[in-house]
Amino acid sequence: MIAPEFWSIPEGSLNVAPLTQKTATLKNRLLDITARFSDVRFATSLAAEDMVITDAISKSKANIQLFTLATGRLHQETVDMTKTTENHYGMSITKVYPEESDIQEFIDQFGMNGFYDGEVAKKACCGARKIKPLNAALLGADAWITGQRREQSTTRVELNFEELDDARSIAKFNPLFDWSEADLWAYIKEENVPIHPLHLKGYPSIGCEPCTRQVKKGEDIRAGRWWWLQSDSKECGLHLNK
């Protein structure tokens, strides 16, 4: 049997001028956000998009607090990547954990791995491990930042730079909304940004360990997320504004 060929980091690169312009625009976007809002927070998953934003925050010295959702079901590589990033940039990333009572409630109703049973259980798990912790992490903030890009999936093609997060009544920004995958990896290469180890093992998109798998070459880059569900179920609910 022939072993499958998995996704790999794109080898192409941008010319210097376009990359320089995109880098400057990204830094200006971050500085503009912090000029307009007093308490800006960035939710990082430690994957490629978020590492680009982290690098730009560090180099622009934008006043933005970083946090990550420590769901309790992350790959060990992701847990380790948090410390790698902190050490590399000399910054602190707040770890936001779910409430034990919420996790126990999910387990009592669906079982430890009940999310495999369908969309309802999957949403309940993401609600306990990601959405409620995100709500807690954003208490008191007046703006937050994500690493979403239009190119990532069909559910994000109309993504804008600035949105109103109606669910939390704060501003939400997607500074990489118009970046391509080629832009992303050209920046990472040029700026020597630390790379999540799972990107080197065929994972273009990284979430919780039981809900993320490698993606075969030619598949959609989010095909490895909740692969047992329909293609329109590739969101956990973090980015639903209402």
Distances (CA, A) of 124 to 28, 105, 155, 187: 38, 10, 20, 36
Q: From CA 205, how far away is CA 225, in angstroms rounded?
A: 7
Told to judge if 236 belongs to the known catalytic residues of this protein, a careful annotator would answer yes
Contact 130, 43 (CB under 8 A): no
Closest Cα partner for 63 from 35, 90, 83?
Answer: 35
By the 8 A CB rule, do 102 and 128 touch? Answer: yes
Q: Cα separation of 82 and 10, whole Å?
A: 24
Q: Which of 125, 126, 211, 236 is catalytic?
A: 236
Cα(11)–Cα(67) distance, integer angstroms: 30
| Pairing of β 93-96 and β 64-69 | parallel
The catalytic residues are 236
